[in-house]
Chains A and B, each alone.
Chain A
Amino acid sequence: MLEVSGLRKSYGGLTAVDGVSLSAGKGETIGLLGPNGAGKTTTVSMIAGLVRPDAGEVKIAGRVLRSDTDPAKRSMGLVPQDLGLYEEMSAHENLHLFGALYNLSGAKLRHAIEEGLDLVGLRDRARDTVRSFSGGMKRRLNLAAALMHDPMLLLLDEPTVGVDPQSRNAIFDNLEVLRKRGKTLLYTTHYMEEAERLCDRMVIIDHGKIIANDTLQGLHRLLPTVKLLNVELADGKVNGLRAEDLRELAGVESVELRGSTVRIGVRDLAGDSAVVLRWLTDRGYPVQHLASERANLETVFLTLTGRSLRD
């Protein structure tokens, strides 16, 4: 459905995107991950035809995207990071406009509007101006606006920025529905948990270059074999506990004190955990709660780049 090869874009002396290539099959959901300024939005902008690449090409359903009026754009819907909505107009009026941009009219347009409003749960607010909407509702409408012409490929540029958890879940539910309908999604985010929940495959980008492109399982194989153990001490008793002492234990790779919780990296979760717990109990640090933590994409990114995704 989507093939991107060798995309490159520079602004003055700054190379924003440096030879990005990726592809997405029909019905596939691809996560494009990277910290702020990594080149995600520029990549999406080039795929959407908003920014002309210095080099490389974009193919939508096998056709190379060439100009502003290229019919290939009809196969694509964009959910921009900035809310691309007219706040002075109602939800219905916004959707009417964005449908008309793709030459929809009459019953076909009305049907598309109703379907869009139903999907994002805004039918009862259709006649209200967007200005009166909450941030989450605006984001949902932003999604509906990209669906008016029923595109096969949906480009989602950080579609949940600044929304509350409830609205975020609502958007995820909407995207799950679209996946089931066979849409191809390219989902840009710097929230690991979003990508983990939604995406079949992750493309990790940093400094304009792709540094990993694999399934979640494949990326986990890139991780070092360290497991994380979160130990919460009773009554917040961390007085006198020193990270250096714990680190001297065999099998302990890292120690981090966070309030009444100690975060410990161990090589062998079963064997080394027992040693750590006995050591703490013997020294008068009773354990109130114990949890192991699965390494996530954040850890993958940290491992690959040496910095956090939220940097």
Chain B
Amino acid sequence: MLTTFFALVRKDLKLFFADPRSVTMSVVAPIVIASFFGYIFGGGAGNDDQSKITVLVADLDGSAITREVIERMAKEPALDVKPVTPEQMREAVRKGKATAGIVIPKDFGVNAAAAFLAGGAKPEIGVMFDPSHGMEMRMLQGMLAGAVMQTAGQRMFRGPVTMPFQMKAEAITSGRGITYNGYAHSFGGMGIQFLLMVGVEVGVNMLLRRQQGVWKRLRAAPLSRGVLLGSRAFSSAITSMGTLVLLFAFARVVFGVRIQGSMAGFVLICAAFSLMTAAFGLLIASLGKTPDATRGLAILTTLFMVMLGGAWVPTFVFPKWLQAVTVVIPTRWAVDGLDAVTWRGLGFSAVAWPIALLFGCALVFGTIAAYRFRWEE
């Protein structure tokens, strides 16, 4: 029995490695995409330039007070302030070259002082903004208000006026001095996406082999359905596990991603998800009819699972209701589990449930597949 089982597993591994280009792509593609996403979503450190908000300023007043307001804003690390005319500003924001623009009207300094001290008419600062950057717009409004209040107050009261508080921000990660590494999430997320794609290929390939009649010879031998399907799942799980390990090894060496939490949890999350994708592949093969018809539907399902599981963007940016709904998606258990044992640095207890759920899911998928799979098209 074991000789046969491992002969079938060895056969699948040989077939997997028979196409070096395909093997390379199954590792290189997730690395490239995960590196890109990791860089975009914060990366490790040192990419502040990319996250600065470009703000254009048209100072029609040109008074000492407005010049000082602009200087204060220019000192903000999150802003990249550039002087322009109102016409240039409108054009630049319309074309998406700047996030927002501020038009300070003529006589702003005089009118602001009158409004501040004697309740006169408030001068109006015009703001042009790109509607696709609502969040940055709110941030800019806060910074502008702070700069105007500090400058105007200092001038009016002829002494230094500062904000009555200081803020000390601390990123809560796995430990003091350990910064958040965006690559940890992106490598986990992309690894999960590509493993599910591998699962789709396993299923489609089974249908293809069925179409080619290869299963006939296997089934002519005295082998149970469990051995035939189980060996396929096992070999698929091995290649998936290997892919995940390679991805994280790359992330460790190049981007400094570390398993800050439970190593056993990490290994078991990878193993459980690998087995789940293998069972997912069998499920696809058991539900599909022809390879071509099945591939499209399976890829669409996979993309939904990946998207809702938080593999592309972390689930904390989802609306509350969506965060609540997506807890039933298996990919979410894997993504959250990998986050927990990498940059969050949590212990095994934090991933015990995701591991159990993933193994359970693999069992359910595998049972349905074993029951439903048809040897003939």
Contact = CB atoms under 8 A, between A and B. Distances in A.
B280 to A, nearest CB: 23
Contacts of A50: 216, 219-220, 375-376
Interface in B1-37: 1, 3-4, 7-8, 10-11, 14-15, 18-19
A268 interface: no
Interface residues of B, number: 26
Interface in B69-122: none
A101 interface: yes
Contacts of A100: 3-4, 7
B222 A84 contact: no
A5 interface: no
Interface string A80-120: 11111110110001001110111101000000000000000
A173 B225 CA distance: 36
A86 B15 contact: yes
B132 interface: no
Contact of B214 (A69, A71, A84, A103): A84
A111 B18 CA distance: 26
Interface string B360-377: 000000000000000110
Given A51-B376, A82-B212, A83-B213, A97 B11 contact: yes
Contact of B221 (A81, A86, A93, A102): A102
B213 A81 contact: yes
B287 interface: no
A7 interface: no
Contacts of A69: 222-224
A83 B212 CA distance: 7
B216 A88 contact: no
A144 to B, nearest CB: 12
Contacts of A85: 214
Contacts of B212: 82-83
A68 B11 CA distance: 21
A63 to B, nearest CB: 12
B216 A78 contact: yes
Interface string A56-91: 000000000000111101101110111111101100
B218 interface: yes
Nearest to B11: A97
B168 interface: no
Nearest to A100: B7
A48 interface: yes
A73 B220 contact: yes
A65 to B, nearest CB: 10
Interface string B118-145: 0000000000000000000000000000
Interface in A13-54: 45, 48-51
A276 interface: no
A103 B225 contact: no
B217 A98 contact: yes
A171 interface: no
A201 B103 CA distance: 101
A140 to B, nearest CB: 15
A270 to B, nearest CB: 51
A145 interface: yes
B205 to A, nearest CB: 11
B220 A49 contact: yes
A40 B256 CA distance: 64
A100 to B, nearest CB: 3
B214 A86 contact: yes
B15 A88 contact: yes
Contacts of A71: 222
Interface in B38-64: none
Given A88-B14, A88-B19, A97-B11, 11 more contacts: A50-B220, A50-B375, A69-B223, A74-B222, A76-B220, A78-B217, A89-B14, A89-B15, A93-B11, A97-B7, A145-B217
- By Cβ-Cβ distance, the 3 closest A-B pairs, closest first, are A82-B213, A100-B7, A84-B217
